[in-house]
Structure 1
């Protein structure tokens, strides 16, 4: 019996030690001085990866502009490359495979094929098999001009802003929330990524000297503490050219705000150990996010992208043209404001271009959440409350007592627009020979294809007229049965 208990104790100890080992992973945060020589910069990146990989790290983090830094806009544009198929990124992918590590390459100058006079500032993550698993285009651009001091630092002169935040990336070191440099001054972005279950926040940077001395450590520690995440900020350092100098001090900060690694003011890297079990302890012992008042601290205005950007290949479907006038984002499509008949704080309802039954309308969240599970609790409550209200409206307008309501949650369920939405279809007795044939009709229904033999698309004029009529009907709808106040567009 004693032997059995000892064996059982050893087993539990082994399981605990194994779990602790699995929760800890080593990363390297790098610091370099990029110049207007892409080959020299690539050699520096290669050497840093080679050296860091020997220290058993799972992932290596590089700063903004690790590809190059020029002293004029003409060269900056000339040196830019596409992410997919560009020789610089191809070299990074080969290095990831060669050294069996994941790479965070922050703030590359991405060529925009459609506009040769502009670029994206793009952060990419490459896995250890050389795949680009995600791309994030910088949303917030540094914009500073002091004429009396001959200071002009305006990223917007060259860079087009990204349109989305991206869902956290699963990696061997945890779920990574992607950002770039100046994005750290937008705390809502970091909080949104944490709400989406990020465990690490990354800010590859090229911070200027004056602002860094005052704010660099403070901002990064604040983002770590308030979001209870690891923060990793690879950095540029030293003199790049006669016009530009960077602060350095690439950091790794833990969820309690402690600095685990600081590269100082020299090129090189530091290794830090991330402990996701410790992160869980911090969140459990101080459950800040369970205390959030979501009705007050809403993040619905941030647009989320979950999939990696992919270039359109030969034969790819051409997206429909953007409608004239103001519109709202619906997946990869645009819904004209004139076709929207109801909005709440987080949700909107709009008429359909091709109806399975008369009065077939759709309800979607403002934010481009793809799946039901992607909705925050606040969004889910608002989404389903709006569905109830719109059902009540459509039954009144079409003089029915029934509706079919369906959500096609995922591609295998028939979802063709990657933005969760509910079809609301008023029903009357005998409208289908067999009641469930409506689902067969819905599977054939693709509201944004150019043609359908049974259901041709309606004109915008017809849709606008229906939306206007529904807005009028909403004003007389009895909302005393638990429905919120109306908010007409």
Structure 2
């Protein structure tokens, strides 16, 4: 069953027109083919609703039974069925599409890069970001160590879209504000992307707080696409995909289950917040 949450439409003002974005929430299982088919349907739903940029969640293509399962489906850069699907979907719907994450080949045979790829409406790839910060958490019976199966990226990445400069990041990156400060240097970032698969435990405690903090301190929109529910592998993710405005207000949210969250990136709102409180210009360090 799918759900849809949409933010109210702000009035257009001076500058570029408002730009509709959408975050897709999934509860991915162990079958890549089934997950891709479900993502395809949700992308179509978002595009039908007018979305011009669509973001998929982390691991949209598979939440395996074991951490190492992602290694078995890893693709070479620029070649593979998941990458072909993303390019084709962007082209078919004439949207900017950011493919959450998928596993790409790295030099270590036991690991992968956890990679987010961005495509333009022609289906051309415009950016690749390899997740830099790797999640580690242990409490009671819960234990995660992404470094066992993932090789960390090294380079912050952003790209230009009609809504302005878009900063890429993934899940655990959210806890490291210095990454976003680097990406937002000069006040050029309009939108931060956050595909994620936050655990229920850490999401309940910190997800919304951290998302709103990143929006407030960088005075930009944040679009977060999450995994949200109980997965075949027994893991439970927090969900709460959302769009947040530059003042830190939650414009739309989907707590749990599959669905689409959408809203408008309004350049006039960005200008208003930055003019009223020019914190980015007041930076010293």
CA distance in 2 between partners of 1:74 and 1:138 (Å): 17
Q: Determine the structure 2 residue equivalent to 1:38.
A: 32
- Deviation track 1:284-319 (CA, whole Å, cap 9, x = no partner) reads 1111121111xxx2xxxxxxxxxxxxxxxxxxxxxx
Q: 1:53 to 1:154 in 2, by over 3 A?
A: same
- Deviation track 1:17-58 (CA, whole Å, cap 9, x = no partner) reads 986483301111110011110111111111011111112211
- Deviation track 1:107-151 (CA, whole Å, cap 9, x = no partner) reads 211122x322110011111111011100111111111234xx343
CA contact (8 A) 2:219 2:273 kept: yes
Structure 2 residue 181 is matched with structure 1 residue 188: no
Q: Determine the structure 1 residue equivalent to 2:129.
A: 136
Aligned residues: 274
Q: Matches of residues 383-398 of structure 1 in structure 2 within 5 Å? A: none
Residue 223 of structure 1 aligns to a residue in which SS? Answer: helix
Q: Determine the structure 1 residue equivalent to 2:69.
A: 75
- Cα RMSD (Å): 1.6
Q: TM-score, normalised by structure 1?
A: 0.54
Residue 117 of structure 2 aligns to a residue in which SS? Answer: strand
CA distance in 2 between partners of 1:21 and 1:98 (Å): 29
Structure 2 residue 97 is matched with structure 1 residue 103: yes
CA distance in 2 between partners of 1:100 and 1:116 (Å): 36
Greater RCO structure (CA 8 Å; 6+ sep): 2
Q: Determine the structure 2 residue equivalent to 1:270.
A: 261
CA contact (8 A) 2:30 2:62 kept: yes
Q: Matches of residues 17-36 of structure 1 in structure 2 within 5 Å? A: 20=14, 22-36=16-30
CA distance in 1 between partners of 2:238 and 2:96 (Å): 26
- Picking from 261, 266, 270, the partner of 1:279 is 270
CA distance in 2 between partners of 1:156 and 1:56 (Å): 38
Structure 1 alignment gaps of length 5 or more: 1-16, 298-489
CA distance in 2 between partners of 1:122 and 1:74 (Å): 16
Q: Determine the structure 1 residue equivalent to 2:110.
A: 117
CA contact (8 A) 2:87 2:119 kept: yes
CA distance in 2 between partners of 1:74 and 1:266 (Å): 25
- Picking from 73, 84, 91, the partner of 1:90 is 84
Could you tell which deviates more after superposition, 75-84 or 270-279? 75-84
CA contact (8 A) 1:80 1:119 kept: yes
- Deviation track 1:434-459 (CA, whole Å, cap 9, x = no partner) reads xxxxxxxxxxxxxxxxxxxxxxxxxx
- Picking from 156, 162, 170, the partner of 1:172 is 162
Q: Determine the structure 1 residue equivalent to 2:56.
A: 62
Q: Determine the structure 2 residue equivalent to 1:448.
A: none
CA distance in 2 between partners of 1:74 and 1:107 (Å): 15
Q: 1:270 to 1:145 in 2, by over 3 A?
A: closer
